Structure 1
């Protein structure tokens, strides 16, 4: 009986304390923000309230101002983008954006599909523009490594340097090999291989350090192009 009395009294005191003090007030309120919440039902918000090291609430300005107290600091971030902290599990953000803007080969399951996707993508870009990324996997069509002759007639003046999915091998077309000065007389590089046919002509497959004979010839991206890479990733 006594225990029940003290328990009831404690609940009453707690209730009175909460109602008298009202809502816990934030130390910091951030307004006028472009907040990505990660919640598919409400992916964006404009304000957030923080108490010590705890995020109290995210929502509209009216919702968040309820947490404003006498000593709350309010910061207008003027539309800046805010996202939950990234845990970098070996992520290359710009490379990822570039990959999404380029030809998609990750699930190409046959030689013909591989060729058709490259041919179709080549028609959608400007002459002379590089075709990169790709992320193909030859094991999906039986294991035969792709060859430049598969794609040369479809890519024309567009240099090609498309990665295998593991990033340790690329396929270059004849246009890219010419830019890099690679021919049947080119020796292998240290820790790399220029794969060649029986007659000594390059197949277009470059492994490990040999990849950079071509990759280093790709023009550097302009600031505008780097911004374009961020669009598929929703980073602004």
Structure 2
């Protein structure tokens, strides 16, 4: 029995030795391999999100408001042929009425904000600032989405002439809903986003509602929805 144990221990030691040799042989090669570009970009976003300090918020607001700013990773959109959408350009309309009502529910989507809200801002500038309103409801988020939206709120409110509506907190959590109630909770969140239209029906009586999900959408895509 003791001879059997000795052989077993010897084989185990040999196996461990071979494993260690292989590990240290390939370890340096693995470490030297560069990260894929997409992973490097995601890491840079994660680093900015961590802590959500003022510099991070400024970086996001700048990336959202300036289409040429590429300091943060965002989907590169093709330049649209704006002549196709000339009929959407401002016409003589009562300033008391809003013709385009942009609305969205957002949750845990900080990396998408530069493209998503950035494209929305581009669309609003094209369609006419005085003709557009924005309503955003933020769901449960811990990634910095709320901080960036809060920083954007006064800027977008001024941009649209006081037609920016932002809800940063809600007790409605679709992910925590019991079976069969998730879609009801999602509908409740959407209704909160649409509430400004119900509160001022005369202002939005002829408005086109542009409901955007948390996706990377381009200016052309939004204008196609409106067309």
TM-score (norm 1): 0.27
Higher strand fraction (1 or 2): 1
> Bigger relative contact order, structure 1 or 2, given CA contacts below 8 A and separation 6+?
2
Higher helix fraction (1 or 2): 2
Larger Rg, first or second structure (1 or 2): 1
TM-score (norm 2): 0.28
